[in-house]
Structure 1
Amino acid sequence: MVLFGVPTGALVVFGLIGVALTLFVTELIPNDVTAIGIMVALVALEPWTGVGTRGAISGFANTATVTIVAMYMLSAGIGRTGLVQRLGVRLARFARGSETRALAATIGTTGPIAGFVNNTPVVAVFIPMITDLAKEAGVSPSKLLLPLSYAAILGGTLTLIGTSTNLLASEFAATLLDRGPIGMFEFTALGTVVLAVGLAYLMTVGRWLTPARIPADADLIEEFGLEGYLTALRVPEDSPVVGLGLDELDDRTESPVTPLQLRRNGESFLATETDQRLQVGDVLVVSGEREAVNRFRTRQRLTDAPTEVTEETFTAVDSGDGLGRAVVPEGSAFVGETLTESRLATFHGLQVLAIRRGGELIRAGLREVTLAPGDLLLVQTTPEAVDYFADGDDLFVLEEDTLDRIWSDGENGAREPSAREPVPLSPKTPVAVGIMAAVVGLAALDILPIVIAALGGVFAMVVTGCLSSADAYDAVSWNVVFLLAGVIPLGLAMEATGGAALIAEVLVGTASVLPLVAVLLLFSVVTGLLANVITPVATVVLMIPVAVDAAAQLDANGFAFLLVVTFASATSFMTPVGYQTNLMVYGPGDYRFTDFLRVGAPLQLLLAVVTTLGIVRLWGL
């Protein structure tokens, strides 16, 4: 059946795509849940979509999906070697004291690593290092964190395993074109050019456009604007709180006041960790709005303590306790939960003092705040909590004062590199690196398909003890896996109903007024805009069938059109939600949404031109 010249099946699929895009953009429900809904809808509407049960769940058996799962596990194995942390230490030593060297070392190191290791843990490790490095150099951390994310994105264009979009494109190349999968280093030459141009931009124009949102000399209390929210109170003899435990005191606080720390005779005790009972003369550090604290002080008959609350107030050298920052990533189990429901303080000893969400600072009523992806939390940390969250993807806890473990005080108070290496390497490091090299080599030489080589690498990592099976499963971002599995059959439906051919026909119409190379550039620009809104994975699935159909109608090189969509999808710079690493630096850099647009839009347009010309030069039209 045809309606308005369009097959009914194509109209139904376009309707599903419209609903999916709306949900992706608004995030009324998580993207992976939207993807599951897509699979169900495709089967329910099978008479029109042409996608049955097997087709709807085929994304789970897709080689790209399986390869991505394996690469998450392999990256976790490399991450546990300590190599990335050691590299960060060397970077800090090289760049100390110079903004130019700090920027060059940051982006020059992150980019190449991201071609072989999942860039999310790389950026998570580098954020606290770069933040401390910026403060040592007297530079705003905001000047380095956005380039850190962009460099990680650029590095993904170097190899087939650099991003999930590359792996998906390889699968499409094998199924839609008369050729096999993309080779491990088949587009590395173009990726190297893209990386070089991108890094040059970040060192020049990007450096000028990147804002300095956080003052270079701000400590965490100042950075989160907590000067008026933290108060030290002394316990006098007539106070009714004498003899109470801090948990009992917390239960008695009718006002939104949170006990944070007990200080006694030079010692400090975290409220979430101690069973000490309050004594006369104790100093209690609490968090809350001034009016609420005043009411609390009056009711409990406390007095003001002559103690200024600073970042050092929360630092305990012996125990390793202190203040830190934590980023809530996409897919975290805490997303959608309030702080009370998350039990971060009760179960993990992490007391949240403030939340930065984009340009908004939340410092009161924290217990009922619902956590969202990209939230930056100011927390009281313990070494146990840091170690616990280091093994998962629910919370990226960023330790502060990293450089204090790298440099020591030398003569005349000068800071000098410490002779002691603060990041020990795992005894399994040579084995893990050898396994990763074998995976890359076997795939590059076409001895094994990339999916089999990657799965073999996971097997080797586990049996050699480089990675436990539990850690391997924990390393996978399952929300990404379900997103992939859900949108892949949507691409099949577009092909089966002729929807891809219809969209391609519209874009092909521009060839009557534009040269072929300009049509290729148009695909790059349109794809890049979509990727910044609906995620790169969904974009590459929707746009590659359209691009291949357009190439067929234009009698052009289908692989060239496929590659331009692949590179445009993999380089999303214009929004904080376009790529997970952008979301990770959003809070720590105190960026505004418009910062990504101002710095990322020129870079995206520049790379669209570079990529288009590079593809024409290397593969032709």
Structure 2
Amino acid sequence: MFQLSEYISDLGIHIYVIGVVLLTIIFLYREIYNTSITFLGAVGLLVFPGIITTNDVLSSFADEQVAIIIMLLVIGQFLKRSPVIENIFQNLFLKTKGYFKFTFKMTAYVSLFSGFMNNTPLVALLLPYVVDWGKKNNISPSKLLIPLSFAAIMGGGLTLIGTSTNLIANSIVVGEIGPSAGLTMFSFFQIGAPLVLIGIVYILIFGKKILPDNTGMISNFHKNKREYLVDLLVTEKSPLVGKTIGESNLRSLKGLYLVEIVRPDKVRTAPGPKEIMRAGDYIIFAGETDNIADIVNLDLGLEMPNDLEKLQRKKEVVEVIVPYNSSLSRKKIKDTDFRAKFDAAIIAVRRDGEKLYGKIGEMTLQKGDMMLCVAGHDFYKRIAQAKEVTLISNVRQLQDIDGKKSTSLIISTVIAILLPALGLLSLFQSLLLLFVFLLLTRVVLFGEVKRAININLIAIMGGALSIGVAMDKSGAAKFIATEGLTILEPLGIMGILAGVYLITNLLAAYMTNIAAVSIILPVALSFAELKGYDYKPFLFCVAFAGSKTFLTPIGYQTNLMVYGPGGYKFKDYFKFGFPLTALFMVSTLIILKLIYF
């Protein structure tokens, strides 16, 4: 087997590993490939020259913390479908009046729930309710959604299971120092709780002042329908009568996209090319609606209907977002088979707070894109378990876990969290028993579990941990600690921790938090060992810096989830998130100093 160490010096190996890490960071930042592909490619570059072995890689993918994260995510997806959870949030939020009272309750409860429930499904569950409350109380969603995401991020620091970053950090420290260094359920609480309080106060004081006042896509749709949809009536004398949509070429008109056919007896959302046109059909187009005059003048027997407003009111318009790691990202809309999959037609796409123009079918989707859709009869049923898109508006969700099963799910989940907290079982054992119980009692089905597992996330976590192993085994982490962090020694231990926090937070803001922690924590632990410092302040410094990413929409999944629905621009995150990031950094360092120095 080829071994790079046989041909070059230790310094050469260090440079090679650091080069792979830097290349990975560049690929992640520029989004040259899908995140999971980038990590797998990096693993390949480390395995081929023998920096890490096949067993190292397999151990990373089979790591106990990776399994815990996957199980927590799956449970979160099931809890999201529970009517009991839905009723809790309805009672908490929808009856509340006033911006400050609502924002306080939202941030406090979301932070608390986020400490025990994965924040991605939590934010996905709450998004429609928060948007709906804003509409009913004349508050723009942009004043509420970044606070929702930030509250979930803050609450993740309360417990070991609050965020995947904490679990990955725990995995690394156990791997490098030993099982005795493993963290307990509430090891993070003494630092996380004060940060949550500070964050809530910051949001309450500055949220309404700093955050933009944007109009949602649905509100804009109702005010300016003509910018989104055009309705044409097929007259009795039209040559299109009796022809299929394919024969009439209605799906290849310049700048326009056939969305729906409305008939007295039924509505055909996303009609196929074999659909036969009838006299009296209303044909609905989306796209460059300014071109509609050209179509009316084509002698096709199409005219503007008189009962336009009545027709418009029949439509059910919803907003969905392309989440992180969606299979729709980087695909043209016409290649996604969106109509057939979800029984809905896309009528507009918004990115970076602006509506995109051009032919809808030719638009290439990106993560964070917001889509306005006309929903068919089966839309809610089909989207209930979809990974490709997340429903934002229209609080009509399919809660397909009945009341009895839902109660069973919640009680057993609470028990599964309490057992490791009381030291009776390990977290892995407790969650495994929970899954066995849920499957045996048929609260959930095995097929549902399989559908809820995110393969991309497994690839990212396994790849990130493999890079961390390579940093440690090759000596690259110790090399960086010796040559890099030593430069900060004149600033003292707090200056060193400040440097570690800053580097980790910036990396997490522009790539992923898991990657940032996997790269920086081995370096920080090596430095602590080298200089004889307690490893714990370095561990907590990296973990909190990696998970508290408020600067950009791309650093954390929940930030990206609210990006489109809030109509935000990239700069909105920096404007509101930079002061909070600085506040969290200073507060974390002060708390660490009080506890450890």
Distance in 1 of aligned mates of 2:400 and 2:466: 45
Q: Give yes or no for the alignment of 1:114 onto 2:108.
A: no
Q: Give yes or no for the alignment of 1:578 onto 2:572.
A: no
- CA drift of 1:333 comes to 2.3
Distance in 1 of aligned mates of 2:336 and 2:571: 31
Closer, same or farther: CA 270–397 of 1 in aligned 2, 3 Å: farther
Farther-moved stretch of structure 1 (59-68 vs 574-583): 59-68
| Moved segments of 4+, more than 6 Å | 1-6
Partner of 2:267: 269
Partner of 2:75: 74
Q: Give yes or no for the alignment of 1:29 onto 2:30.
A: no
Partner amino acid, structure 2, of 1:484: M
Distance in 2 of aligned mates of 1:248 and 1:345: 20
Matches within 5 A, 1:62-461: 62-96=63-97, 98-177=98-177, 179-214=180-215, 219-221=219-221, 227-244=226-243, 249=248, 251=250, 253-264=252-263, 269-272=267-270, 278-299=277-298, 300-308=300-308, 313-316=311-314, 322-400=316-394, 426-461=403-438
CA contact (8 A) 1:525 1:605 kept: no
Partner amino acid, structure 2, of 1:286: F
Distance in 2 of aligned mates of 1:272 and 1:193: 51
**1:515 partner SS:** helix
Gaps of 5+ in 1: 406-421
CA contact (8 A) 1:462 1:469 kept: yes
Closer, same or farther: CA 508–15 of 1 in aligned 2, 3 Å: closer
Farther-moved stretch of structure 1 (355-364 vs 570-579): 355-364
The correspondence for 2:14, drawn from 1, 10, 14, is 10
Closer, same or farther: CA 314–439 of 1 in aligned 2, 3 Å: farther
Partner of 1:529: 506
CA contact (8 A) 2:231 2:282 kept: yes
Closer, same or farther: CA 218–491 of 1 in aligned 2, 3 Å: closer
Over the aligned positions, Cα root-mean-square deviation in angstroms equals 2.7
Farther-moved stretch of structure 1 (20-29 vs 78-87): 78-87
**1:325 partner SS:** strand
- CA drift of 1:394 comes to 1.6
Distance in 1 of aligned mates of 2:484 and 2:384: 47
- CA drift of 1:424 comes to 9.0
CA contact (8 A) 2:250 2:258 kept: no
- CA drift of 1:2 comes to 12
Closer, same or farther: CA 459–314 of 1 in aligned 2, 3 Å: farther
Partner of 2:476: 499
Partner amino acid, structure 1, of 2:385: D
- CA drift of 1:496 comes to 1.7
Partner of 1:587: 564
- CA drift of 1:141 comes to 0.9
Matches within 5 A, 1:498-577: 498-577=475-554
Q: 1:370-425: CA deviations, max 9, x gaps?
A: 222111110111352222221132211234266xx9xxxxxxxxxxxxxxxx9996
CA contact (8 A) 1:80 1:426 kept: no
Closer, same or farther: CA 347–484 of 1 in aligned 2, 3 Å: closer
Partner of 1:409: none
CA contact (8 A) 1:354 1:378 kept: yes
**1:241 partner SS:** coil
The correspondence for 1:483, drawn from 427, 447, 460, is 460
Gaps of 5+ in 2: none
Question: Would you say how many aligned residue pairs link Structure 1 and Structure 2?
Answer: 589
Closer, same or farther: CA 220–125 of 1 in aligned 2, 3 Å: farther
CA contact (8 A) 2:36 2:457 kept: yes
Closer, same or farther: CA 269–245 of 1 in aligned 2, 3 Å: farther
- CA drift of 1:15 comes to 0.9
- CA drift of 1:313 comes to 4.3
Farther-moved stretch of structure 1 (422-431 vs 543-552): 422-431
Distance in 2 of aligned mates of 1:435 and 1:480: 25
- CA drift of 1:84 comes to 2.9
- CA drift of 1:3 comes to 12
Partner of 1:413: none
Partner of 1:410: none
Distance in 1 of aligned mates of 2:250 and 2:231: 19
Partner amino acid, structure 2, of 1:499: A
Q: 1:108-163: CA deviations, max 9, x gaps?
A: 22111111112112211211211121111111110001111111111111111111
Farther-moved stretch of structure 1 (20-29 vs 281-290): 281-290
**1:428 partner SS:** helix
Distance in 1 of aligned mates of 2:173 and 2:256: 59
Distance in 2 of aligned mates of 1:533 and 1:237: 58
Distance in 2 of aligned mates of 1:218 and 1:367: 20
Partner amino acid, structure 2, of 1:329: P
Partner of 1:462: 439
**2:226 partner SS:** coil
Distance in 1 of aligned mates of 2:209 and 2:249: 48
Distance in 1 of aligned mates of 2:432 and 2:456: 20
- CA drift of 1:263 comes to 4.2
Calculate percent identity across the aligned residue pairs: 25
CA contact (8 A) 1:230 1:286 kept: yes
Closer, same or farther: CA 287–524 of 1 in aligned 2, 3 Å: same
**1:259 partner SS:** strand
Partner of 2:23: 19
CA contact (8 A) 2:286 2:348 kept: no
TM-score by structure 2 length?
Answer: 0.92
Q: 1:196-217: CA deviations, max 9, x gaps?
A: 11111111123321111227x9
CA contact (8 A) 1:524 1:568 kept: yes
Farther-moved stretch of structure 1 (512-521 vs 573-582): 512-521
Partner of 1:471: 448
Partner amino acid, structure 2, of 1:171: S
CA contact (8 A) 2:257 2:359 kept: no
CA contact (8 A) 1:83 1:425 kept: no
- CA drift of 1:258 comes to 2.7
CA contact (8 A) 1:86 1:423 kept: no
CA contact (8 A) 1:75 1:118 kept: yes
Distance in 1 of aligned mates of 2:78 and 2:258: 39
Partner amino acid, structure 2, of 1:285: I
The correspondence for 1:617, drawn from 589, 594, 597, is 594
**1:171 partner SS:** helix
Distance in 1 of aligned mates of 2:467 and 2:173: 17
